[in-house]
């Protein structure tokens, strides 16, 4: 009501920390493109090469029938905001999945996280984000995006598979079936151990081609280099295709807005993920890109996730590790996926086609608490 809103505004204005956060939101001009800097371009090439090599491994599978056609977007943050980054990037991969049947789709840009906060948060969301300094539920965010693009706030639903279901039926064929049918998955409520957090240093500068693997419940994680098995010719072809993608994104902007093109290095990205270590209670959100079956043990599955930490953007997790740490895998059903076509011609959300960007310095974490109330699906434009 009016009195409640008045108290909310007064608290934002008079509370030093809250007013600082609000000012930060008002100043946001979009996620920062990092690729003008050559060190980040080198990092992008290495990460994409790692993905190409991974999806050529025996027994591997991904969210597209042909993962050679995938276009990857990386979003980084020193810590926090994963509950927004994961659904933002997942939108891109959902559109790519949809393009397998709708060839008219051509714009696969992720949502712009910074503008998502500034332009679309409702009163309740801003109150929690600014005044209470709280994070949110990534599955809620994805559901809200789906509801808006579908134009039907009541009937849009996601498919949720909790870790108990996955534990009882974890084998490569089931996981592969979900990816082939629905596309990428969102891992929500993933519990971050101190070892998982420390592993963010394993490829800190992004100068190695490979993934970080966690194999077994208490594994501390290790970097696994991925070698090119197709010879120098295949390697050269891969590098040319990556350079072509970079060239096509050399002007990282979408008609909906002018991207923030700051070429300066973000020193925070060179630091470890966080100075503090997780106590095992912190939650995280990532995107499921694919997986593979173990050559020696076909019943064992590895899941490949995209992460938002510069030193560990690609994480492979064994099914038993995931079952101990994960909470839910969220998929968009085929009927719901078709609604995302509208993102290519309607200005629902600002989007950012930078291949590698930093989502500014808003530190919020994944939470199991409901972030988006049912009655606040509407989009407010107070801060546009």
- pLDDT tens for 137-161 read 888 889 888 888 887 656 788 888 8
Residue 297: which residues within 8 A CB-CB, separation 6 or more? Answer: none
Q: How far apart are CA 369 and CA 40, in angstroms?
A: 35
Distance of CA 381 to the CA centre of its chain: 25
Helix spans in the chain (H): 2-14, 16-27, 38-54, 82-98, 113-120, 123-126, 138-150, 163-169, 172-182, 194-198, 231-248, 319-325, 334-337
Contact 357, 34 (CB under 8 A): yes
Q: How far apart are CA 277 and CA 197, in angstroms?
A: 7
What tokens does 128 get? 């929690």
Tell me, what DSSP letter sits at residue 128?
I
Local structure of 250: helix, strand or coil: coil
Q: How far apart are CA 221 and CA 213, in angstroms?
A: 5
pTM of the model: 0.83
* Positions in the chain whose pLDDT score sits under 70: 1-6, 8-9, 11-13, 24, 26-28, 78-80, 132-134, 152-154, 163-173, 250-281, 346-347, 360-384
Q: How far apart are CA 367 and CA 156, in angstroms?
A: 22
Short-list 85, 104, 81, CA closest to 342: 104
Give me the torsion for CA of 96, 100, 101, 107, rounded to 10°. Answer: 30
Residue 208: which residues within 8 A CB-CB, separation 6 or more? Answer: 46, 223, 225
Contact 209, 50 (CB under 8 A): yes
Q: What is the pLDDT of residue 372?
A: 44
Tell me, what DSSP letter sits at residue 147?
H
Q: How far apart are CA 256 and CA 350, in angstroms?
A: 6
Beta bridge partners of 303: 291, 317
Q: What is the pLDDT of residue 167?
A: 60
Tell me, what DSSP letter sits at residue 72?
-
Contact 339, 149 (CB under 8 A): yes
Tell me, what DSSP letter sits at residue 109?
P
Local structure of 328: helix, strand or coil: strand
For residue 5, count other CB atoms closer than 10 A to its CB.
11
Burial class (CB in 10 A: 0-12, 13-18, 19+), 77: buried
Short-list 204, 206, 199, CA closest to 222: 199
Q: What is the pLDDT of residue 175?
A: 86
Q: What is the pLDDT of residue 281?
A: 59
Short-list 140, 156, 183, 199, CA closest to 325: 199
């Amino acid at each position: 009501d009016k009195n409640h809103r008045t108290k909310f505004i007064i608290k934002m204005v008079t509370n030093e920390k809250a007013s600082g956060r609000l000012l930060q939101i008002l100043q946001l001009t979009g996620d920062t493109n990092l690729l003008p800097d050559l060190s980040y371009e080198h990092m992008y090439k290495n990460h994409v090469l790692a993905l190409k090599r991974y999806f050529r491994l025996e027994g591997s599978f991904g969210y597209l029938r042909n993962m050679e056609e995938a276009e990857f977007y990386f979003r980084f943050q020193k810590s926090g905001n994963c509950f927004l980054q994961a659904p933002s990037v997942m939108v891109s991969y959902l559109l790519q999945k949809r393009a397998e049947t709708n060839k008219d789709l051509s714009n696969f840009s992720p949502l712009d996280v910074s503008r998502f906060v500034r332009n679309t948060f409702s009163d309740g969301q801003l109150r929690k984000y600014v005044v209470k300094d709280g994070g949110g539920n990534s599955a809620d965010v994805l559901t809200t995006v789906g509801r808006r693009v579908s134009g039907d706030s009541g009937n849009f639903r996601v498919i949720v598979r909790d870790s108990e279901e996955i534990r009882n039926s974890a084998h490569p064929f089931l996981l592969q079936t979900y990816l082939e049918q629905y596309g990428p998955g969102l891992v929500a409520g993933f519990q971050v151990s101190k070892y998982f957090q420390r592993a963010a240093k394993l490829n800190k500068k992004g100068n190695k081609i490979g993934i970080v693997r966690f194999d077994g419940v208490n594994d501390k994680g290790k970097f696994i280099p991925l070698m090119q098995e197709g010879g120098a010719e295949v390697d050269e072809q891969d590098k040319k295709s990556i350079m072509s993608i970079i060239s096509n994104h050399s002007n990282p902007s979408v008609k909906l807005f002018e991207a923030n093109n700051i070429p300066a290095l973000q020193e925070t990205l060179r630091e470890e993920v966080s100075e503090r270590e997780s106590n095992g209670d912190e939650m995280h959100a990532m995107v499921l890109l694919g997986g593979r079956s173990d050559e020696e043990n076909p019943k064992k599955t590895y899941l490949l996730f995209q992460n938002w930490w510069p030193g560990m953007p690609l994480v492979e997790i064994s099914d038993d590790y995931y079952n101990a740490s994960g909470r839910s895998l969220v998929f968009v059903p085929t009927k719901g996926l078709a609604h995302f076509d509208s993102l290519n011609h309607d200005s629902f959300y600002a989007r950012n086609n930078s291949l590698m960007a930093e989502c500014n310095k808003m530190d919020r974490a994944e939470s199991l608490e409901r972030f988006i109330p049912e009655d606040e699906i509407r989009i407010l434009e107070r801060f546009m």
